[in-house]
Homo-oligomer: A and B are copies of this chain.
Amino acid sequence: MFNGAILVGASERRGGDPFFAVHPASGGQGEVAFSNASPADVADACALAEAAFESFSALTPDARATFLETAAEQILAIGDLLIETAMTESGLPRPRLEGERGRTVGQLRLFASYVRQGDWLDATIDKALPERQPLPRSDLRRVNQALGPVAVFGASNFPLAFSTAGGDTASAFAAGCPVVVKGHPAHPGTGELVARAIQAAVKACGLHEGVFSYLPGSTHELGGALVSDPRIKAVGFTGSRGGGIALMQVAAKRAEPIPVYAEMSSINPVVLLPGALAARADALGAAFVGSLTMGSGQFCTNPGLVIALEGPDLDRFVAAAAQAMTASEPQVMLTPGIHEAYEKGVAALLSAEGVTTVARGAQAQGANRGQHALFTTDAERFRSNPALAHEVFGSSSILLSCRSIDEVLETIAGLEGQLTATLHMEESDSADAARLLPALSRKAGRILTNGWPTGVEVTYAMVHSGPFPATSDGRTSSVGTLAMERFLRPVCYQDVPDALLPPALQDANPWKLIRRVEGRLEAAAGQDRAL
């Protein structure tokens, strides 16, 4: 159960000035009074996190992996209460939330397996060259170490997979960093349930209580205090562009600036090449609207921009998309604030000069339902009005018709950074695709062909990031095993006695790691990991 408490390490406490969960489907609110964590709570949580750092970051891979697996089990052990609470607080349907729970648990387990395997340590050894002239070379050994306590700001649109025990928390734990979560006020009961599961895992594994704290709150001050705390060494955030930039600025102004990994804003361009349109314009139109309206469009990778060459095949696509959209039912959005921002964004497009409405979804009945919207404008106007390229979070998209592939290229070159970019193509489009791919790869962290960007697999190869403003740091990923690297830094040991080295670097290679020795990857002696 949940009671609205602040969880600082192993203990719980109450704060003043409570807030309440809003139930978006009904517009009503919950009965539990949730505490707003105060600056004193932030300081206590960060002090505990700092106290936990040395022991937690020094755990063996197996011990840390076991903790991640225990957290996964504890989350499953909450049972249906978690799904019901999340449904009530987010308005998302049961199958989606059950899937999201599976993803959350699977993510923790994937990190557990990757932590055990150990490649993330990047253990690297350059042996001493005592005979080298004119000077001998020292023994140099490098390994990745945890950065320090991490602050995590969960997302409203994935109350499980990108929130309290989501990708940021899982990857920070995997790297060996204690985590202080700023609980999202849009799903406070869900957040607390998951936080208590992590708290139970910390206890079950006999870890320092400071490994995890949970600070619910509905104020910007709370987030600012957390990012400003000198013990916090990195920040994970998924949310709005404004929110992400505000945290980046707080972090940059600290006496010790720290990295902020903010996933913020993307319109995920989809390019329809002529061969694809000729072959399947109708199917593409329907599938596009399916991707656009799924989950009320509340995905970071929602296709908010479609680019294609003008002509009858595009007209067919538009007709099919319009038909699908007209039939599409409005769905509950996550929060009144998100619904309001969506309506505002759509209203701005409705009144923007030179922007035409292609179709709207069925009219909304009931609270917080977003009526879907598809617009069109010409590519030149789009390029000259940056406001048209701003993300409207929800099921709103703009279609651009271009006169040539050159104009498509010019349009892509003018885009800001994106999470994804998609090409729909046939074999006959290969030459055009080959021209577009280098441009797209500069703009986005993930390039798809013949798919839709919604749906982000949690794997080794996944990249969920992109140049600003898609994220604050396009050199990494917030989904998949790569996400761990955000919370690691390399440390080199020079001539340090073997017994004092981190185990990953000791001669005996007790963790049986693949290590880079004199520049070549080598398996541990006796290990059957043939390359």
Contact = CB atoms under 8 A, between A and B. Distances in A.
Contacts of A460: 124, 126, 142, 516, 518-519
Interface stretch (A163-171, A314-322, A461-469): A461-469
B124 A461 contact: yes
A514 B434 CA distance: 25
B490 A145 contact: no
A373 interface: no
A342 B245 CA distance: 39
A497 B428 CA distance: 12
The 4 closest A-B pairs by CB, nearest first: A523-B531, A463-B492, A531-B531, A142-B461
Contact of A490 (B259, B463, B514): B463
B488 A475 contact: yes
A430 B500 contact: yes
A473 interface: yes
Interface in A80-121: 113-114, 117, 119
A491 B450 contact: no
B521 A459 contact: no
A205 interface: no
A124 B114 CA distance: 14
Interface of A: 54, 58, 113-114, 117, 119, 124-126, 135, 137-138, 140-142, 145, 147-148, 248-249, 252, 256-259, 416-417, 430, 433-434, 437-438, 441-442, 444-451, 455, 457, 459-463, 465, 467-469, 472-477, 481-482, 488-497, 499-500, 514, 516, 518-523, 527, 529-531
A527 B531 CA distance: 9
A457 B531 contact: no
A210 B477 CA distance: 30
Contact of A256 (B256, B438, B468, B530): B468
11 contacts: A126-B461, A138-B457, A140-B459, A142-B463, A147-B474, A257-B472, A447-B493, A449-B497, A463-B491, A476-B490, A477-B490
B451 A495 contact: yes
A140 B420 CA distance: 13
A462 B490 CA distance: 9
Given A433-B500, A463-B490, 14 more contacts: A54-B438, A58-B438, A138-B457, A259-B475, A430-B497, A430-B499, A433-B497, A437-B500, A445-B492, A446-B493, A449-B500, A460-B519, A461-B492, A521-B529
A244 to B, nearest CB: 11
A238 to B, nearest CB: 18
